[in-house]
Structure 1
Amino acid sequence: MKKKRMWQISFIIGIFFLLYISWTGYSIWSFSLTDNKTQTDAAIVLGAASKGEEPSPVFEKRIDHAIRLYKENYVENLIFTGGKGEKTAIAESEAAEQYALDKDIPAQDILIETKSQITEQNLQYANSILQHHDLNTATLVSDPLHMKRAVTIAEDLNMNVVSSPASDSAYKSLRTKIPFFLREWFFYTGYQILSLFRF
């Protein structure tokens, strides 16, 4: 009887786990389609890799989207995030800053942080910038499938944010989307589970 009972409990736990990861997967995918274009104080561009002193193609698409938001008067400032990698000459955010300057964005409207290495740090340092400059609202910019986790982390930091994913993401084909989706699925689920032990 004990073995049967244990098997039943394990089966129920397994079903709940499958339902949970299915829900998180659906949540990530459906949220990637949401674009809340509205006026905010700043666009926070989440970092991606840079090549030498130039943004990677993935990062470039994110920056381009933020620049469009700025030029269409949705945001008043651009905040670029991302630190220096082991094999890069400058920080990701510095590469983004130069890219934006080359696109005629005024230097006084660009803010950067150069320390972060992961999404959570991107947002922690960006939040410090918002507070330091008395900016209250922000539009998060990243790739569509990254947005659910990014917004969740930002809200946990008590940031007032909306989501506007890069409309011309470098991840277009299923061959590139599926690995990125699975990666986000893993990290978002892990973040949610770890959050249960933080509070």
Structure 2
Amino acid sequence: MTTACRSARSWSRREDEVVLRWLTRLLALVLVVALAVPLFTAGVVVATGEVDGRRASDVIVVLGAAQYDGRPQPILQARLDHAAALYRAGLAQHIITVGGRRKGDRFTEAAAGRRSLRQDGIPASALVAVGKGSDTYTSLRAAAEEMDRRGWCSALLVSDPWHLARSRAMAADFGMRPATSPVPDPPITGTAANARYVIRETVARLYYGAVQAPATKSLVGGCG
């Protein structure tokens, strides 16, 4: 074997080693990012839910949840009770309830929420039921459209703690100026249940950011 051949093979091996080294580093970086992004997002979900960011707003927006024949179920009722307390504290002069009607229901989530708040002594003039939406995205879009019609800009969002990071991101993209106030004692008990909720909201927040968010800002006028 000539010296030239040996040198060429040695150089080729060194090239292969360099390429392999860079591929290994690239793979490690991809793995770090793949772990870091969900962990960071989960941290945002938890941190948002642990901070009561209430501030005076044009309207309180109560995110919908299950109701049965016009009677809010525990999760929705806890949200409504908190919204009523915020209203009485003077944080806003109006409350929007959102949520549509599921198949077979006689009432929308929004109508059930409004009815409960009226029974709790909140004046009818302060209540707006927006009976549209089958999920957080479509419900907040409907709320944003209603706010846009009425010239309202700022919204105080009320929901379960772990639900608020995604809700706030959506509301901001729809043109609202959102603040959040989590339900202080949501009827979601147990470490396992809360962990599942955080995981579900983390995945949903990542999906929203990757798929829905890019097209959201153009859908509603908002306040800029």
Taking structure 1 as the reference length, the TM-score comes to 0.93
Number of aligned residue pairs: give it: 199
* Aligned equivalents of 1:79, 1:196: Cα separation in 2: 23
What displacement does 1:173 show?
2.4
The Cα offsets for residues 45-76 of structure 1, whole Å up to 9 and x where unpaired, read as 01111122211110110010000011111110
Q: Which of 184, 193, 197 pairs up with 2:210?
A: 193
Q: Which of 139, 142, 152 pairs up with 2:169?
A: 152
Partner residue of 1:162? 179
Partner residue of 1:17? 34
The runs of 5 or more residues in structure 2 that have no matched partner are 1-15, 218-224
Aligned pairs for 1:1-199 within 5 A: 1=16, 6-194=23-211, 198=215
- Secondary structure of 2:128's partner? strand
What displacement does 1:135 show?
1.8
Give yes or no for contact 2:170–2:213 (8 Å, CA) kept in 1. Answer: no
What displacement does 1:36 show?
1.6
The Cα offsets for residues 81-134 of structure 1, whole Å up to 9 and x where unpaired, read as 000011322101111111111111111110011120111111111111112222
What displacement does 1:4 show?
6.3
- Secondary structure of 1:76's partner? coil
Give yes or no for contact 2:173–2:213 (8 Å, CA) kept in 1. Answer: no
Residues 17 and 172 (structure 1), Cα distance of their counterparts in 2 relative to 1, 3 Å cut: same
- Secondary structure of 1:32's partner? helix
What displacement does 1:10 show?
2.9
What displacement does 1:7 show?
4.8
* Aligned equivalents of 1:152, 1:34: Cα separation in 2: 15
* Aligned equivalents of 2:214, 2:109: Cα separation in 1: 32
- Secondary structure of 1:47's partner? coil
Percent identical pairs in the alignment equals 23
What displacement does 1:40 show?
1.1
Segment of structure 1 superposing worse, 8-17 or 59-68: 8-17
Partner residue of 2:10? none
Q: Which has the larger radius of gyration?
A: 2
Q: What is the alpha-carbon root mean square deviation over aligned residues?
A: 1.8
* Aligned equivalents of 1:115, 1:162: Cα separation in 2: 22
Residues 196 and 80 (structure 1), Cα distance of their counterparts in 2 relative to 1, 3 Å cut: closer
* Aligned equivalents of 2:203, 2:197: Cα separation in 1: 10
* Aligned equivalents of 1:109, 1:79: Cα separation in 2: 9
